[in-house]
C-alpha cells in the first residue's frame, strides 16, 4: 500500500501526486518552482486557466488557492476521496 501524500493546492491526502510547474514550461518555467498536486487539482488548473494566465497571475500556491475561478472546485474537492477525474478537455475546448 502506498503512503498517502498531501496535495499542496487542496490539502487532501492522496495516493499519488504530479509535479505542476508554477510557471508553465511553455511560458519559460521549465527549470522554475514546482508544486506537488493531485491529479484532479492539476487537471482542473489546466482546464480553468491558460498557460499565459498561470504564468502571469497564478504562479504561486497562495495565488491559486485565492483564485476566484477555483473557489467552488476547492470547496467541493476538499472532502472527496477522489484520486482521478476524467480529462474534461474534449474536442470542444477553446484554444487559449
Judge whether 22 and 34 are in contact, CB under 8 Å. Answer: yes
Classify residue 90: in a domain, yes or no. no
Q: What is the pLDDT along the chain (96 residues), one digit of tens a residue?
A: 567 799 999 999 999 999 999 998 899 888 999 999 999 999 999 999 999 999 999 999 999 999 999 999 999 999 888 777 765 554 444 444
Quickly count: other Cβ atoms within 10 Å of residue 37's Cβ: 22
Tell me if 96 is assigned to some domain: no
Position 13 in a domain: yes
84 in a structural domain: no
Range of the domain at 57: 5-77
Q: Is residue 88 part of a domain?
A: no
Per-residue CA distances from 87 to 16, 42, 45 (Å) = 17, 10, 12
**Is there a domain that residue 38 lies in?**
yes
Within-domain flag for 86: no
68 is a domain residue:
yes
Query: How many domains does the chain divide into?
Result: 1
Torsion angle, alpha carbons of 95, 47, 21, 86, to 10:
-120
Amino acid at each position: 500500500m502506498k503512503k498517502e501524500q498531501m496535495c499542496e493546492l487542496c490539502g487532501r491526502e492522496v495516493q499519488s501526486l504530479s509535479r505542476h510547474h508554477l510557471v508553465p514550461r511553455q511560458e519559460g518555467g521549465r527549470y522554475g518552482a514546482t508544486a506537488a498536486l493531485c491529479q484532479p487539482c492539476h487537471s482542473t488548473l489546466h482546464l480553468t486557466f491558460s498557460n499565459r494566465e498561470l504564468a502571469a497571475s497564478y504562479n504561486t500556491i497562495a495565488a491559486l488557492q485565492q483564485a476566484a475561478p477555483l473557489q467552488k472546485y476547492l470547496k467541493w474537492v476538499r472532502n472527496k476521496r477522489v484520486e482521478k477525474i476524467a480529462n474534461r478537455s474534449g474536442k470542444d475546448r477553446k484554444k487559449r
